[in-house]
Chains A and B, each alone.
Chain A
Amino acid sequence: MIGLIYSRRTLIWLLLAGTTVLSWGMGHGAGFSDSRFASSSIILLAMIKIRYVILEFMELRHAPLPARIVAEVWGGVLCLTLLGLYWHGMGVPT
């Protein structure tokens, strides 16, 4: 049981829970005076969290390379799309 708890998986869970608190703080004005930068950081953090769920919990880190590449490309494209649409909506030409 100890071997199951002291694992990379547990470390990732702690980091994911920690970044949830961090995102929550940023969503409530902590760290940024400009909410646009806070929101962009929240989107970026969410995509990083999603990447780690995919790689560590869904075990795509150990999947055949094409599956991992598809997941990584999807994550990158989605992140850029969301950030692009967000800044476009905020009136900044993208």
Chain B
Amino acid sequence: MRDVSQRQIDSTGMPVTRHLPGEAGLWVFIGGDVIVFSLFFAIYIYDFGLYPDIFHASQAHLNHAFAAINTVLLLSSSWFVATAVEAARREKGRISSACLVAALICGIGFCVIKIFEYHEKINEGIMINTNEFYTLYYMYTGIHLVHVLIGLGVLAVMVRVSRKGVLDSKRIFLMEGGASYWHMVDLLWIGLFALLYLVK
């Protein structure tokens, strides 16, 4: 394993030498997950062309404000996580830990809003088998929500790691891996938000 703490960093705190954050194996997992979601996106757009009236009518029922707030929450959490990793590299453990807690709060906020959104739909009698649109909506957002919940666990571990004394290269390496997973959760939502809520 490379000694992260000994690597040179530039004025913005980024490593001068090229380096893949976290374990290479994690990137294989991230790549696989991203490809699966890419297929989800393609299937959605294809079905959109097959059932445009159903998709338009169903989209109009979605709570767009909830989705936009959730997008900003995940983007903000990604900023906090990226800043936490940077603070850890600069041996600022307390700042790193505070940023991770803030990211965790944003992630929990995302879940709470998602639950409100599901509750709203279920109260209106809209279920996974209502029509083609809602089958994809519940499936895709549900799978993504599972990713968010796993990510919250990862963030909680990162908070513990950041609070354990000196942030050596091994701990920074762990934090880089956790951060990469969380950013993947963010980018998948960017795609879902655009397709499910905005594309007409």
Please list the residues of chain A having a beta carbon within 8 angstroms of any beta carbon in chain B: 1, 3-5, 7-10, 13, 16-17, 20-21, 23-24, 26-28, 35, 38-39, 42-43, 45-46, 49-50, 53-54, 56-65, 67, 70, 74, 78, 81-82, 85-86, 88-90
* CB-defined contacts of B18 to chain A, threshold 8 Å: 62-65
Identify which of B111-119, B122-130, B155-163, B181-189 touches chain A: B181-189
Number of A-B residue pairs having CB atoms within 8 Å of each other in the complex? 140
Which of A4, A45, A46, A74 is the one whose CB lies under 8 Å from B83?
A4
**A61–B191 alpha-carbon span in the complex (Å):** 21
Q: A50-B190, A62-B19 are in contact. Are A39 and B78 (CB under 8 A)?
A: no
* Cβ of B41 under 8 Å from chain A: yes
Given contacts A20-B71, A57-B81, 10 further A-B contacts (CB under 8 A): A4-B90, A20-B68, A23-B198, A42-B199, A50-B190, A53-B186, A82-B41, A85-B49, A89-B48, A90-B49
Which of the four size classes fits the interface of chain B?
A: 35 or more
Cβ-closest chain A residue relative to B31: A70
Within 8 A of A (CB), among B163-200: 176, 179-180, 183-184, 186-187, 190-191, 193-195, 197-200
Q: Across the interface, do B200 and A38 meet the contact criterion of CB distance under 8 Å?
A: yes
Q: Chain A contact residues: over half helix, strand or loop, or mixed?
A: helix
Q: A4-B95, A50-B187 are in contact. Are A17 and B75 (CB under 8 A)?
A: yes
Q: Across the interface, do B38 and A27 meet the contact criterion of CB distance under 8 Å?
A: no
**A67–B23 alpha-carbon span in the complex (Å):** 13
**A21–B72 alpha-carbon span in the complex (Å):** 9
* CB-defined contacts of B49 to chain A, threshold 8 Å: 85-86, 88-90
CB<8 Å pairs between A and B, sample of 29: A4-B92, A4-B95, A10-B79, A13-B75, A17-B75, A20-B68, A21-B68, A23-B198, A27-B64, A27-B198, A27-B200, A28-B64, A38-B200, A46-B191, A50-B190, A50-B191, A57-B183, A58-B180, A59-B14, A59-B82, A62-B15, A62-B18, A67-B20, A81-B38, A82-B41, A85-B46, A86-B49, A89-B48, A90-B49
B19 CB to nearest chain A CB (Å): 6
Per-residue CB contact flags for chain B residues 1-34 toward chain A (1 = under 8 Å, else 0) read 0000000000011110011110000010001001
**A29–B19 alpha-carbon span in the complex (Å):** 43
* Cβ of B76 under 8 Å from chain A: yes
**A62–B18 alpha-carbon span in the complex (Å):** 5
Q: A4-B95, A42-B199 are in contact. Are A82 and B45 (CB under 8 A)?
A: yes
